[in-house]
Every structure is written in structure tokens, then in C-alpha cells.
Structure 1
Amino acid sequence: MAGEACAPLAMLAGIERSSPTLLTVHQPRDRAERFGFAERLSELVLPYLAALLADTESYLAGAAKEERHRALRGPQLIVPNGGGIGWLGRLGRLTRLRATDGPFAVSSDVVLLGKWLTWFKDRSEVPGTAVLMAMTRVLTAHWATGQSNAEDSHLASVLAWIDPPAGRSGAAAARDAEDPALCPPAGPSTDPVFDATTLQSLMTGYDEATNDRARKAFAREMDRELKGQMLPTWDAVWRGIELLRGLPEGGHVTDRRRRDRAEFSAYGMYLIEDGRPQGRRDQAVGAARRLAQVEEAEQLHQVERAFDDPLVMAEYELSGEAFTGVVVDRAPDRLDDSGARPKRRPTVTLRVGELPRIEVGAVVRSPARRAQPAEVVAIAAAGAGDFDVLLEITGGLGRGYRQPLPPGAVPELGEELTFTTLDPTRQPSRFPATENTPWTHGGPPQPYEPTADDAEEVWA
């Protein structure tokens, strides 16, 4: 509706496929009903988050090895498509700045829900995170369909392509999935035919009902129709989850979820210790930190995907950032005695089928030996179009040259390895502490203090 960027109508939510909870708003123009919907949603989401925050583990972090705590399990919200992520972000923006007293007061749980939804939306923009996911985006990251990117935002069509019924092609199944009578759109768009016929007549009857009994009858019928519209999408999301659970887990998934759990716990602690909502706009320092975080997370995510998936690494081989070869020579006991103390520096020679586009002196790593950096010492022709790459292993060899090498520390003859200049261990950028922000950047920013005007959102 005009002026209502996220007026809710209905939602199915829950953690069990067989028992979704239906939340409805029978008249979205009614402010009390809209925020009543948010309060009922908070009764589902907040206990789920609180239970996760209560079960923690301790770990050491930072240069000072400070003891911190993080949740043992991280949260995960799944919506049908990218539009659902945007809608939850707008709902968080609408609710986190509301007053809990006065003429238009809302429950404190509504405000807390808004803060959490805003955190989920912000965190979802960091590549590699898994706290708020659109099912269409996750599926199309692992399967290819025969339709456009825009069409890939329709969950039923995506599932039809990648998991068609027996005896049918993906294209034929996708054509059927585009029929709103068979697969009603939901998440958050609705079928305009359903809106103009069924929904409008029920909502009009609800508004014009002359007594509570009649109004409740229209409300029950509206609930039944809305649930029928959303159940196919609800089932489609769970079907997508089943398909994803059948895939092998990537090697860096545990690391990414560990970061998610740490960020989740840190925000939960912030809400306890401070609790001020996110501002309507980022301050300059916060925006700079967030931009750096997103850019570095994007680079790290691409590197981790390459280390986890040979098909992704193949793209980097084509761009000259990686090469693959077979070990044809090795010197596991080689020592470098050019310094004050000898250092163990084994070498291996890889034979590759084409000239690597990597410079001598470059530091490379192998996905099979991620903790073992190596330096390209020389590249030489080996005849018949092959080339030999001499690598000096500079780390991951155990302690001291007098100690025996750990088993398998140096690649064996005949072992096929891929090496790349990509580095998944690169450290993030370091910003000065907020209180040390230099005057050239405006000095230390003032903490955000919400005002009564902040609740008046500008949606244009």
C-alpha cells in the first residue's frame, strides 16, 4: 500500500516443517494490528535467540589473548528469496526505534525484535555469512538453471529446474511452477489475482462486519485462504533445505559459522550492556569499518570457495593465479644455512603442462596443505611443452631443524597438487580504536542517541 513499505499481511514461521505458526493481519491499515503482528513474531524469534545465547563456550581472541564467549550454535533465519531479506530489514527498521511509552507505545519485545532483525539484515550483507539466507540464492549458488537471474528469484521455478518430478524435464516443470494457481507466489510478493478477488472480498467483509461473530468468521476464512497461499512456498523452502543437506560440507564452513557465532554473541552482549538501537544512518567511522569488513569478507569468501571447490579453483587457473602439477622431484632434508641459524627449507619440483603465469618469488599455497606456504624459486622448460616449477616450502614443517619432520610434511613423488597465490590466512585491516579517531576524520564520533523523531521513518 502507498506509504506502507512493510505492512504485514501474513507469515508462516517455525522450526518444524510439520507445524508452522500462522501470523496474520486482517486489516494492514490498522496500526495496532500491524504492531500486534510484530509482537507475536517476537514471541517466536526472541526465545529462539535467547536459548542459543545461553549455551556458550569460551575462547581466546586478539593479540592479548583475551577470554571471550560465543554461542555453541549460531542462529539461522531462512526466507524464500531476496525479497524476504529486504522485507525483514524494513520490518526491523520500522520497529527498532519505536517508543515503549506514550500514546503510540509498543511492547519492549517489539523494539528488541527490531534490533535483532536489523542485525540479521546487516550481517546478511557480509559475504560468507549464514545467519539470514534466501533459499533461491543458496540453491543457485550450487545448481545452474536454464533461466535468467530474475527468474531465479522464483523459488518454485528454481526447484523445478534442479529437482523436477520423475519423467519431466526441468524446463517443463518450471513452466508449470510459474502458474500462480499451482505455485502461488509468497515471500513477500503475492498473486494479484488472489488479492483482487479472494483477499479483497474477505477484507471488505471483515471491515464491514456488524458484530464480532461475523468479523471472526471472516478472519478465520482469511486465515484459511492465506495459509493455503503460503503453504506451497513453505514446503518449497523445506525441500530446498533437504537438497542442501545432501551436499558435502565445504572445508571452510566451520570457520565461517564460527565467525557467525562470535558476531552473534557479541551483539547479544552489546544488547545487555548498552542496548541502543542501530542509527538510521551509519556515522562516518562506522561506515568505513563496515565497508572494509564487507570488502575483506568478499575477498576471503572467494578464496575459501576456491580452496574448498576444485571447480572454483579452475577459474583461478584460467586467470593465471593458480597452477596444477605432479611432484617429480623433492629434497625433504634441505637446510638453508645462509642465516645465523640453519632453517629447514625442503624443495619440491612440480611438472605442469603449460607455463604458469606466476612470477618467481611469489608465495603460494596448496588447498591440500593450507598451513604450508611455499615460494616459487624457479620456472624452467622441461621439454614437450611441459615446465618444471621449483618450490621452496617455508612453513608448516614442525619445530626446529633438529626435530624429525612430521609424517607427510613434504609432498611425495607422483602427488598431484594445485598451488595458488590466494591466501585464506590474510589478516583483516586494523582500524584505530573509536576513541582514537583522528581529527582529520572528524574525531571520536558521539554515541548514537535515539530521539522521538527517529521513529518517523522516511521511506522515499
Structure 2
Amino acid sequence: MSMLTTVATLRATQSGRAQPLTTVRHQHLDEKPFVLVPLTLAGEACAPLAALAGTDPEHPLLLTVRRPRDRDMRFRFVEELAALLLPYIEDCRADTETYTAGRGKEKEERERALRAPQLLVPNGEGIAYVRLLGRLTRLRATEGPHAVHPDVPRLGKWLTWLADQAEFPGSSTMLAASRLLTAHWATGQSSAEDSHLAALVAWIDPPEGSSGAEAARAAEDPLAWPPAGPATEPGFDTVLHDLFDRFEETAGQVRERVGERIDLALLAQLRPTWDLVWRGVGLARALPEGGRVAARWAYDRRWFTEYAAYLEEHGHPQGRRDRAVGAARRLARLEDAATRYAVERAYDDPLVMAEYELTGEAFSGRVVARDEDRLLPGARSPLWRPTITIRTDRPLRLETGAKVISPARPGQSAEIIDVTPHDGTHLVVLQLSGGFANKRKPPAPPGTLAETDEQLTYTVLSLDTMPTALPAEEDTPWTHGGPRQPYEPTEEDAEEEWE
């Protein structure tokens, strides 16, 4: 937990209401996300019991398994879920746009979908459930003994892809409502308690006349607010067990009536969580979207388009385990995504940047002077290097020579060339280069050089980080998972050394 998060948690405890950790929303929220609230049978890792699914907050679709230990009933549940989710995914592919990829001479035009699917689940356990369900279904055979409907493995591949994307920081194709909210608000309870969606929402948006702490205590009643799943509440398991026994013992119309009671009981467990997920979406939507969220969503749309094309061309399911080269590439992508996401959040959000100011990786201040006409001797001609002087009233940990960038002008690099203490503050002189609309001599184009009295933040964080470079698979040594060289016999193979 960071220092500012700790302070926000203490303030939430004192005030009785969740405190904001950000000023903007750092995740994309689609106008029409697909929400899935699953339940599993107690005692089994991924035995589907029921789910509420759909894109309409007022009219969710209920899927139930009245005999959850029956294999055929389980896969019928998956077929019903596929009938809802797969058309939604195909609708996202309906409209495309052309974009330019690559740099320099390697630029080329490509197509990507204007939308990508966005799957929302209540909590992190919901993401784990989707991953297990994908693993259970993506390798199933559609012919021969125990064949399943073709939509079952197809859905499994997409569920696995969505769960994989959920691991990448900044990706919005699959989100857990509890994680989305805790990334933007701090409550007065522990992180473990924040996984309880009802209590979390109560802290953020308590009823009128009640504090967040009081509302959270009331939300801990499992009768009023059942667990957000996919595990069920033990008391409900007893009721459900009795209903399942009666369902097995009866037949005909009596069995159907018992089945309807099972459906109603499961709906009563799922509907409060369904409403909480949509309520959480509304709370997050009230925050303005961060400036770099759209670019990350475009990246999601690109990966979605490429995977959809791969399924059409090849259709191979994901392996049970990553091969060495694939695992290394995935790890590199995860590390690059985490680094870039952290920097982009700081650039978009002054509250996030404040954490870096505390650690000495950034500073803020007011421009008190500028030298627009400053020139330095060059090899052939003078170099235009204007300066600005910033007064900061906070301790400065960056030293002379440090390279810094302002989020207000990310295309303009700066170097600290002097730091002078002055009346309890510091005067920081920055030498600027670039970001002047390709001009090489004064005057600076309007807006490219900071004005006097302008408030600015500078940081050593940079968006221009190079992605991890790994060799192609065919160039990777076999000791690191690359292809083995085919054996070709030679005459020397039969030779032996004799003493």
C-alpha cells in the first residue's frame, strides 16, 4: 500500500466515507458491456450452478443447472452461455477502421474493430472462474464419444483469451467490479474486506443519512446481500441441497415445479450482485475518462481483431501450458504493460503523480522566469536551448543533470542545469529541447514554451520506453525453448578414438 493510499484509508476511517485515489477513470467502460455473475456448486472448482448474464441492467438472463453433477447439464449451461456471449463478440467485429502501424518505411495500413468485447464480473474470483471454465471447455471434442456442441470449445477459447487479457495492466476487455472500484477509491476497511462488493459499494455510495462504515456493516448480512460469488453462502447451500434432493425424487409436473423453485432461489442469490455490478459501473462512469485510456482501448481492439482473425484462419485452442518462448514473450509483454500503465496513470492524474513527488521522482512548482533567446555554441551553428525557472516549495531530490519531462508537454525534454535554495524554497532552472514545432531558433511558437506563473509538474518518468526485445522463435537457442536443429548424419559420427 502506497503512502497516499494509506492516508486516504485513514481519512476514510475518520470520515466514514470512501476517499478518491484518482481524479479520472483509468479504465475504459463500454457503452454496452457484457456482465456475467456466476455461481458454482460448493465443493467443486468449476461446476457451473447458475449465472445471470447479459447487457441490459434491467433484464438479465438467468442460466441454471438443476442437476449440477450431470455432465450433459453442465455443457448445456455452457451452450446457453455461448448463445449469449458469442453473438455479442461477433457484434463487436461488425464495424472496423483503418489505422497505420509501424514506423518509417515499415508503415502499413491495417484493420481493427471499432469495438472490443468487455466482460464484467463481480470480483477477482469471477475472473478465476472464467479462466477455469475456458480451460474446461476449449479442448473438448465436437465429434466422437462425449462430443459437445461446436460452440462449447469456441466459447472456451474466447473465455481463455479474455481471462488472459485481464492479467495485463491497463487492459479493459475483462474487468472485475471490485478491482475497478478499489483502484479509484480507498475505504476504511482492509483489502480483504474490499473484495466484498456490497460492503465496498456501501463505503463509496452509502444511503443518505448513513456513513460508509454503517452501510458496510449492514451489507455484511448474507440474507440481504448474498456473496458476490462464484462461491455460495453455506446457509444457502443447505437450502439448495434439499431442493436438489426433491428434484431427484420427483417426476413430471412436480419435478418441474421444484425446478422452478430452484431457479427462483438461485435468482434471489444472484440478483443483488447483478445490481451491485451495474451500480459500480455507474459510480466509475461518473469519473471523467483519463486522457490515455482511449489509446489503451485501441490497443485492446487491435489484439481482439488479431485474435478473431487467428480463430478464423487456424482455430487452434490455447495450450494447457505456454511453451518456453511463448511464456518469455508473455512475461515481457506483462512487464512492459505494467511499466507503461504506471507512467500513463501518473501523466493523466495529478493524484497519482503526487505519489511520485513523495518518492522524489517528480516535483511541481510555478514558473517564475524564462529565457526564450538562450543560445549555446554548436559545432556548426548556435543551438537554441531556452530555459525556464521553476520555484518549488517542496524538498527536491533530483540533482543537476537529471532528465525530466512534463506531462503537459510530453514531447519536450528538459534537463536540470541548476538548483538554488531560496527563502525555504528551491529555484530549478530547466534547459528545454524539442517540442517547438520543429523550430530551431526563437521565438517559440505559442504554447510550446511555458508562460510565467504557469503551474507545472516535471518527472523522470518517461513514456518513451522501448519494449523488451526478444529474438524470433526460430533464432532462439533450443536451450531456451527454440526449435531443435534436425539431425543430419555425417561420416564422423561413426569414428572413434582409440588409444
How far the C-alpha of 1:354 sits from its partner, in A, is 4.0
How far the C-alpha of 1:242 sits from its partner, in A, is 1.0
Report the Cα distance in structure 2 between the residues aligned to 1:153 and 1:46, rounded to whole angstroms.
29
Q: 1:432 to 1:409 in 2, by over 3 A?
A: same
Deviation string 1:284-332 (CA, Å, 9 cap, x unpaired) is 1111111111112111111111111111111111111001111121122
Checking the alignment, whether the CA contact within 8 Å between 2:384 and 2:442 is kept in structure 1 is no
Checking the alignment, whether the CA contact within 8 Å between 2:118 and 2:172 is kept in structure 1 is yes
Say which SS state the counterpart of residue 48 (structure 2) adopts: coil
Choose which of 101, 107, 111 in structure 2 pairs with 1:65.
Answer: 107
- RMSD between superposed Cα atoms in Å: 1.8
Say which SS state the counterpart of residue 191 (structure 2) adopts: coil
Unaligned runs of 5+ in 2: 1-40, 486-499
Determine whether 1:6 maps to 2:40: no
Determine whether 1:41 maps to 2:45: no
Q: 1:87 to 1:62 in 2, by over 3 A?
A: same
Checking the alignment, whether the CA contact within 8 Å between 1:96 and 1:111 is kept in structure 2 is yes
Corresponding residue for residue 190 of structure 2: 148
Say which SS state the counterpart of residue 74 (structure 1) adopts: coil
Which 10-residue stretch deviates more, 317-326 or 184-193? 184-193
Report the Cα distance in structure 2 between the residues aligned to 1:32 and 1:336, rounded to whole angstroms.
79
How far the C-alpha of 1:66 sits from its partner, in A, is 2.2
2:168 maps to amino acid: V
- What is the correspondence of 1:410-425 to structure 2 with a 5 Å cutoff? 410-425=449-464
Report the Cα distance in structure 2 between the residues aligned to 1:428 and 1:226, rounded to whole angstroms.
47
Determine whether 1:292 maps to 2:332: yes
Report the Cα distance in structure 1 between the residues aligned to 2:484 and 2:427, rounded to whole angstroms.
56
Report the Cα distance in structure 1 between the residues aligned to 2:472 and 2:50, rounded to whole angstroms.
44
How far the C-alpha of 1:130 sits from its partner, in A, is 1.0
Q: 1:152 to 1:327 in 2, by over 3 A?
A: same
Determine whether 1:200 maps to 2:241: yes
1:141 maps to amino acid: A
Corresponding residue for residue 298 of structure 2: 258
Choose which of 396, 399, 407 in structure 2 pairs with 1:356.
Answer: 396
How far the C-alpha of 1:246 sits from its partner, in A, is 0.7
Checking the alignment, whether the CA contact within 8 Å between 2:42 and 2:232 is kept in structure 1 is no
Report the Cα distance in structure 1 between the residues aligned to 2:377 and 2:126, rounded to whole angstroms.
61
Deviation string 1:346-389 (CA, Å, 9 cap, x unpaired) is 211112224421132222111221222212222223x2122221
Checking the alignment, whether the CA contact within 8 Å between 2:394 and 2:425 is kept in structure 1 is yes
Corresponding residue for residue 456 of structure 1: none
Choose which of 150, 170, 183 in structure 2 pairs with 1:108.
Answer: 150
Checking the alignment, whether the CA contact within 8 Å between 1:79 and 1:187 is kept in structure 2 is no
Corresponding residue for residue 391 of structure 1: 430
- What is the correspondence of 1:34-433 to structure 2 with a 5 Å cutoff? 34-63=74-103, 64-197=106-239, 199-209=240-250, 211-381=251-421, 383-401=422-440, 405-433=444-472
Checking the alignment, whether the CA contact within 8 Å between 1:328 and 1:350 is kept in structure 2 is yes
Say which SS state the counterpart of residue 100 (structure 2) adopts: strand
Aligned residues: 443
How far the C-alpha of 1:434 sits from its partner, in A, is 2.2
Which 10-residue stretch deviates more, 367-376 or 102-111? 367-376
1:349 maps to amino acid: T
Report the Cα distance in structure 2 between the residues aligned to 1:367 and 1:258, rounded to whole angstroms.
21
Unaligned runs of 5+ in 1: 447-460
Say which SS state the counterpart of residue 43 (structure 1) adopts: helix
How far the C-alpha of 1:113 sits from its partner, in A, is 0.6
Checking the alignment, whether the CA contact within 8 Å between 1:27 and 1:33 is kept in structure 2 is yes
Corresponding residue for residue 451 of structure 1: none
Checking the alignment, whether the CA contact within 8 Å between 1:344 and 1:400 is kept in structure 2 is no
How far the C-alpha of 1:205 sits from its partner, in A, is 1.3
Checking the alignment, whether the CA contact within 8 Å between 1:434 and 1:445 is kept in structure 2 is no
- Could you tell me the TM-score, scaled by structure 1's length? 0.92
Report the Cα distance in structure 2 between the residues aligned to 1:67 and 1:13, rounded to whole angstroms.
37
Report the Cα distance in structure 1 between the residues aligned to 2:347 and 2:434, rounded to whole angstroms.
18
Say which SS state the counterpart of residue 186 (structure 2) adopts: coil
Say which SS state the counterpart of residue 6 (structure 1) adopts: coil
What percent identity do the matched residue pairs reach? 56
How far the C-alpha of 1:46 sits from its partner, in A, is 0.7
Which 10-residue stretch deviates more, 339-348 or 17-26? 339-348
